[in-house]
Chains A and B, each alone.
Chain A
């Protein structure tokens, strides 16, 4: 990762993906205690990383993220579909 912003965004993307995947699993296995525990751990860490990203860089969610000195970053570039927003994942084959 080139910089702090990319590495925080990468961590958040990973955690959110794990949350999406486990959440889908729990929809059809709602009583799997082990996975519920894992899911809750991931949600908790993702919340912390999300806070870290928003505090340092830009708001993530429209009408959910709290306003801060970076509030106007919402309308600013880069947007997620641009090259500039994204980063290369390390350790690829």
Chain B
């Protein structure tokens, strides 16, 4: 279960309204490389991973991503909440406004609604962790593109914090992957069955066959 704590992981206090930027940053809420996809991906994959290190890493990073989702929602809300009709029209926020008003809806910057197709839970711990490392890099790139579009330090500081977290998470997933590889390579591992197509092959080349 989870316990909510009534504070942000990193403060978000934005003075200047900027609906155009809000629409771009929304992509880290419900877009293809966003925090919602990250959290759901890790919290789903943790059920079928194998080492203690990988279970803890997926559980705890999946949890931290929810705190990042909250930060992104706060940024988007604070950038758009005081926008008048003129700003909404002039800054291209009108297409979002007709569907959601000033509500925070999980969608990409181009308005595509969130979909679970953004993530995978493959039931193969190595496959999953490689996806996770790629996901952290994709999110890092997105934060860098967003920072290129931002000249307001009130917005840039939390975005820089989030970018740095992607780098740390990538590192931790790499370490978790190493524990899974070592575990699956060990002589006493019977947990992961050989794929069916290999069952008739007595000498597949792996350590156990030799």
Residues of A near any B CB (own CB < 8 A): 9-10, 12-13, 16-17, 20-21, 23-25, 27-30, 58-64, 74, 79-83, 85-89, 92
Contacts and interface: CB of A to CB of B under 8 A. Distances in A.
B172 A28 contact: yes
Interface string B58-87: 001100100000100110011000000000
Contact of B5 (A27, A60, A81): A60
B12 to A, nearest CB: 6
Interface of B: 3-15, 52-53, 56-57, 60-61, 64, 70, 73-74, 77-78, 153, 157, 168-169, 172, 175-176, 179
A63 B153 CA distance: 36
Given A30-B53, A89-B157, A63 B3 contact: yes
B11 A86 contact: yes
Given A13-B7, A13-B11, A89-B157, A24 B61 contact: yes
Nearest to B11: A86
A20 B66 CA distance: 13
8 contacts: A20-B9, A27-B176, A60-B5, A80-B8, A81-B77, A83-B14, A86-B12, A92-B153
